[in-house]
Amino acid sequence: MSSISMTVNGKTVSGEVEGRTLLSQFLREDLLLTGTHIGCDTSQCGACSVHVDGKLVKGCTMLAVEADGAAVTTIEGMANEDGSLSIIQAAFQEHHGLQCGFCTPGMVMATDSLLKSNSDPSEAEIRKHLSGNICRCTGYHNIIKSIQAAASQLG
Amino acid sequence: MPKDNGIGASPKRREDVRFLTGRGQYTDDIKLKNQCQAMFVRSQVANGVIKSIDTSVAAGMPGVLAIFTGEDFTEVGGNPAGWLINSRDGEPMKEPKRPVLAHGKVRHVGDAYAAVIAETHEQALDAAEAIDADIDELPAVIDMADALANTDNLVHDEIETNQCFDWGWIEDNRAATDEAIKNAPHVTTLELVNNRLVPNAMETRASTGDYNPGTGDYTLYTTSQNPHLTRLLISAFVMGIPENKLTIIAPDVGGGFGSKIYHYGEEALVLAASKKLGRPVAWTATRSEAFLTDAHGRDHKTTIELATDKEGNFLAIRTSTLANVGAYLSNFSTVTPTFLHGTVISGNYTVPHIYVNLKAVFTNTAPVDAYRGAGRPEATYSVERVIDKCARELGMSPLEIRRKNFIKKEQFPFATAAGLEYDSGDYHALVDKLEEIADFKGFAARKAESASRGLLRGLGVNTYVEACGLAPSNLAGVLGARVGLFEAATVRVNATGNISVMTGSHSHGQGHETVFPQLVADMLGMSADDIDIVHGDTSKIPFGMGTYGSRSMSVGGSAIVKATEKIIDKASKIAAHMMEAGEGDIEFNDGVFSVTGTDKSVSFPEVAFKAYVPHDYPHDKLEPGLEETAFYDPANFTYPSGAYACEVEVDPETGKVTVCSMAAADDVGNVINPMIVEGQIQGGLGQGIGQALVENCVYNDDGQLLTGSYMDYTMPRADDLPFFTTDQTTLTPCTHNPLGAKGCGEAGAIGSPPTVINAVVDALSDLGVTHIDMPASPARVWAAIQAAS
């Protein structure tokens, strides 16, 4: 077991983990931040996407010990400070960009990452950026619309 | 009346806030105090005899609390098929027992034969790997034709063959159909495969059993589309736990698509383990387990013949199908390839003679059951592909041959030769609308432009009609159902005037929490914001058959309407008392009760308050309280229909197919929330395009699943799909439910696969290609091009 500590959504946290514990498991099981979802076991679906030191990371591709000392942001840290929905979150609600909600945290994290690096992405750029996030409900139509709306508001 | 959030409005979904902020509560998010973890040990061979299972090493490992094998469940019942299908000769189908854990034999890769319960997930995983089973591998039964031909090698030794049933629909029509085809001027024949799919809801299955030794009560948190059905199966068939001692809670559920209708052995195991240990026992499937053990979909091999006269008038359809049911009969596995498939072979057309033969085959593969569309995509694909081929043979356009044979608007209600009575529809109007939204006139120019880039462009069209809104009980009973098919709802008006609605429908993405309040708000003239939906907990709702078969609005919504009508009826009596008027003189409009011809009125909240503060009640005439329950059982299926068009570009150098556009004109009956309906259609289109172009579940001859992860099984991703053009303005209301709603959940997945393949074949038709099986992968398309040229 290893002792680790990191900043998650602005708060310092620590824990004892096995070497094999994934960051996504640590967030869910130890910190009970269950908004980060696990949808596969091959790092394909993107439901566990979080930000580590500002970079978009699938939480299942990183061991918890590798995140020792890092600053992590999860879906629970994405709303505005007053608790209201962020522009991206509100755009997903406004444009029906989610149905069952399971892939949604990963979609929001991926969108935030995209729009920070490209404030005016084309449809093709959005689709390519999301190719690591699987949604089974929406056919992606309204997810793309949501992201386009968020981009124009943040623009 | 608050039209902004009543029927026909598109209020923002109230469930979204918790999902967007990470505050959803899916089964694996619920961490009960003192819970321990289950891990299953699964067969690595497709067919084998279990000689022994040595659990001694595992039992002594750190944290291990209990180990179960099939031996522990020999006294409990099997997980049954919900529908009894009889073969053509009258013999009932073969029903081998489906145990909680495999006993004696393993029958597919992933078949669980043991389970370990340990303090932590990691300890359970380590111990599971230490269980040593001696399993004698037998040859696998995989190919359906081989399975029927070879009776030496059986999936179930107690059955003499690998055939579950040999079904004819309608057997009395067989001779006339054969005769019509024999004498027809033109017969088009097509052999096709409806590819096996893995449902892949993004949340994998998960179950937590919680037995309370102090009360003897069991609670099961589980990923279910129909918690009451799961309770019924566990209570009445599998474990014998009395229904009143078992609560099923299906909290937020991350998609279902059919795969979470069914009861699975893991649910029984965690309940049994919790009873034994007196602690909650949790299990969550890995995605690998989901691929191996979730009920798969489709997997038909069909020969279809369409007989016409020289002018393209349809004379008869005959089909012969092998349907894979896998190693065990899942709960809906026998109705899906039969009544949900054979009855809609008439499609949108007048076809005088129809005969369907379907043999269901056991194989050493995961069970196959209803997956979004469930039988109707298979029927639609067969019919619409053969019509397209026939049109080419006769030199007719795909739209011309369809229009010529459509059931006309004035012919409804229309009894088909496949045994259903369609209540309403306007297929000509749908195709007219499709021509408008898909810009057929511009296709030639787009095709030329594609050609200038060396690409082959194709336009495919398709129409569908489906039988859904699964119910009614009497029809289901005639067709072999062992349960009723209705829905229940309770409307509870609280003393302060707000409302809780308990519904037996279950939302796992459909937005019930937003759309059902719209119904009640509209009827009671109040704000939907004051109405909440309770679902997914058998201890809180009266009963329910759940959500599948596009039934939530047409059956579940209708039950809510019926309960709300009872509320209005009772509230009118209270209002009459309050205003000292006769009941017959009370009018109710926009949330206000008034006495006809007077200026006397009381509001709905005033009536609600009086119901709970009945100081001056005539107790011989009125009961306190304002809460009503209704069970709704409709008169017929519902019959949504649609007309779809797709344009594709094929790169002849690589065989890659790109979907350029997909247009869908659907008649789903009256629309309660346009935003949600459109979202359902779009999602179905995505899944249907996935089936047509990229998804394929493949077992090798040894029964190993070659497509067991997202690295091998292709899921449609954002860059595989275009924006969709959808339209639901051509509507013919359902004639037999109070909402006029038909259902929209499966439409896109039913209508789109043949549309895409028709487009691919159209693109390649100049090369002489007449058919290509799904998925039309680059390799298959390239090979078809090479073979044709």
pLDDT above 70: percentage of residues in chain A: 100
User: What is the pLDDT, as a whole number, of residue B1?
Assistant: 43
**Does B194 fall in a domain?**
no
CA of B719: which chain A residue's CA is closest?
A127
Residues near B461 by Cβ (< 8 Å), separated by ≥ 6? B398, B399, B402, B431, B434, B643, B644, B645, B646, B755, B758
Instruction: Decide if pLDDT at B401 tops 60.
Output: yes
The answer to whether the Cβ–Cβ distance between B20 and A104 falls below 8 Å is yes
- Residue B610 dihedral angles phi and psi, to the nearest 5°: -60, -35
Domain harbouring B588, CATH code: 3.30.365.10
User: What is the pLDDT, as a whole number, of residue B397?
Assistant: 97
pLDDT (tens digit per residue) in B573-592 = 999 999 999 999 999 999 99
Longest dimension (CA), chain A: 47
* Cα end-to-end span (Å), chain A: 46
The answer to whether the Cβ–Cβ distance between B24 and A94 falls below 8 Å is no
Contact predicate A26/A17, CB 8 Å: yes
The pLDDT-based confidence of B471 (bands split at 50, 70, 90) is confident
Closest partner CB to A94 (pick from B12, B252, B286): B12
Contact predicate B221/B207, CB 8 Å: yes
Describe chain B by its helix, strand, coil percentages, rounded to 5.
30, 25, 45
Residue A108 with chain B: CB contacts under 8 Å = 20
The answer to whether the Cβ–Cβ distance between B31 and A141 falls below 8 Å is no
**Does B766 fall in a domain?**
yes
The answer to whether the Cβ–Cβ distance between A139 and B286 falls below 8 Å is no
pLDDT (tens digit per residue) in B333-373 = 999 999 999 999 999 999 999 999 999 999 999 999 999 99
Instruction: Decide if pLDDT at B439 tops 50.
Output: yes
The pLDDT-based confidence of B4 (bands split at 50, 70, 90) is low
**Alpha carbons B444 and B577: distance in angstroms, whole number:** 71
Distances (CA, A) of B100 to A86, B25, B234, B244, B273: 46, 27, 11, 22, 12
Domain endpoint, select from B274, B293, B312: B293
Same domain, residue pair B341 and B393 = yes
The answer to whether the Cβ–Cβ distance between B510 and A99 falls below 8 Å is yes
- Residue B171 dihedral angles phi and psi, to the nearest 5°: -55, -35
Instruction: Decide if pLDDT at B3 tops 60.
Output: no
Residue B687 with chain A: CB contacts under 8 Å = 136, 139
Same domain, residue pair B444 and B516 = no
Structure tokens at B477: 């009973």
Same domain, residue pair B236 and B121 = yes
With an 8 Å Cβ cutoff, is B19 touching chain A? Answer: yes
With an 8 Å Cβ cutoff, is B72 touching chain A? Answer: no
The pLDDT-based confidence of B619 (bands split at 50, 70, 90) is confident
The answer to whether the Cβ–Cβ distance between A100 and B509 falls below 8 Å is yes
Q: Apex CA B607: angle with CA B604 and CA B613, to 5°?
A: 145
In 3-state terms, what secondary structure has residue B343? helix
**Does B164 fall in a domain?**
no
User: What is the pLDDT, as a whole number, of residue B5?
Assistant: 83
Query: Which residues are bridge partners to A73 per DSSP?
Result: A51
Contact predicate B461/B755, CB 8 Å: yes
pLDDT (tens digit per residue) in B637-671 = 999 999 999 999 999 999 999 999 999 999 999 99
The pLDDT-based confidence of B290 (bands split at 50, 70, 90) is very high
Instruction: Decide if pLDDT at A71 tops 80.
Output: yes
**Looking at CA atoms only, how far is residue B62 from chain A in angstroms?**
15
With an 8 Å Cβ cutoff, is A85 touching chain B? Answer: yes
Residue A45 with chain B: CB contacts under 8 Å = 202, 287, 710
Same domain, residue pair B651 and B602 = no
**How crowded is residue A82: how many other Cβ atoms within 10 Å of its Cβ?**
5
Domain endpoint, select from B632, B661, B694: B632
ipTM over 0.85: yes
Top residue of A22, A28, A29, A40 to mutate, by most chain B CBs within 10 Å, is A40
With an 8 Å Cβ cutoff, is B721 touching chain A? Answer: yes
**Does B171 fall in a domain?**
no
**Does B169 fall in a domain?**
no
Closest partner CB to A102 (pick from B26, B122, B257): B26
pLDDT above 70: percentage of residues in chain B: 99
**Does B177 fall in a domain?**
no
Top residue of B10, B13, B14, B16 to mutate, by most chain A CBs within 10 Å, is B16
Q: What would the 3-class secondary structure string for B699-760 be?
A: ECCCCCECCCCCCCCCCCCHHHCCCEEEECCCCCCCCCCCCCECCCCCHHHHHHHHHHHHHH
Contact predicate B553/B739, CB 8 Å: yes
Distances (CA, A) of B298 to B158, B196, B290, B355: 26, 5, 17, 20
CA of B204: which chain A residue's CA is closest?
A39
Contact predicate B464/B407, CB 8 Å: no
Q: Count up the domains in chain B and report the number.
A: 3
Residue A58 with chain B: CB contacts under 8 Å = none
Same domain, residue pair B517 and B423 = no
Length of chain A: 155
**What domains can be seen in chain A, in order of their start residue?**
2-77 (3.10.20.30), 87-154 (1.10.150.120)
Average predicted confidence (pLDDT) for chain B: 97
Contact predicate B257/B93, CB 8 Å: no
The answer to whether the Cβ–Cβ distance between A101 and B24 falls below 8 Å is yes
Instruction: Decide if pLDDT at B452 tops 60.
Output: yes
Residue for token digits 């991703």? B717
Residue B725 with chain A: CB contacts under 8 Å = none
- Inter-chain CB pairs, A–B, below 8 Å: 175
Same domain, residue pair B740 and B677 = yes
Q: Report the candidate in A36, A65, A41 with the shortest Cα–Cα distance to residue A51.
A: A36
Same domain, residue pair B669 and B761 = yes
Instruction: Decide if pLDDT at A69 tops 70.
Output: yes
In 3-state terms, what secondary structure has residue B561? helix
CA of A89: which chain B residue's CA is closest?
B20
CA of B203: which chain A residue's CA is closest?
A39
The answer to whether the Cβ–Cβ distance between A139 and B721 falls below 8 Å is yes
Instruction: Decide if pLDDT at A106 tops 80.
Output: yes
Contact predicate A133/B725, CB 8 Å: no
**Looking at CA atoms only, how far is residue A69 from chain B in angstroms?**
23
Residue type present at position A89: Q
Global confidence as pTM: 0.97
Contact predicate B210/B221, CB 8 Å: yes
Burial class of residue B789 in the structure, from the number of CB atoms within 10 Å of its CB (0-12 exposed, 13-18 middle, 19+ buried):
exposed
Same domain, residue pair B57 and B74 = yes
The answer to whether the Cβ–Cβ distance between B204 and A39 falls below 8 Å is yes
Same domain, residue pair B557 and B692 = no
The pLDDT-based confidence of B707 (bands split at 50, 70, 90) is very high
Domain endpoint, select from B578, B612, B632: B632
Beta strands in B554-638 (DSSP E): 586-589, 592-595, 601-603, 627-632
Task: Name the more confident of B619 and B320.
Answer: B320
Same domain, residue pair B306 and B421 = yes
**Does B281 fall in a domain?**
yes
Residue B260 with chain A: CB contacts under 8 Å = none
Distances (CA, A) of B300 to B357, B382, B712: 12, 10, 21
Strands B531-534 and B586-589: what pairing?
Answer: unpaired
Same domain, residue pair B371 and B269 = no
Same domain, residue pair B705 and B738 = yes
Structure tokens at B309: 């006269």
Domain housing B586: 3-19+486-632
Contact predicate B450/B457, CB 8 Å: yes
**Does B196 fall in a domain?**
no
User: What is the pLDDT, as a whole number, of residue A35?
Assistant: 98
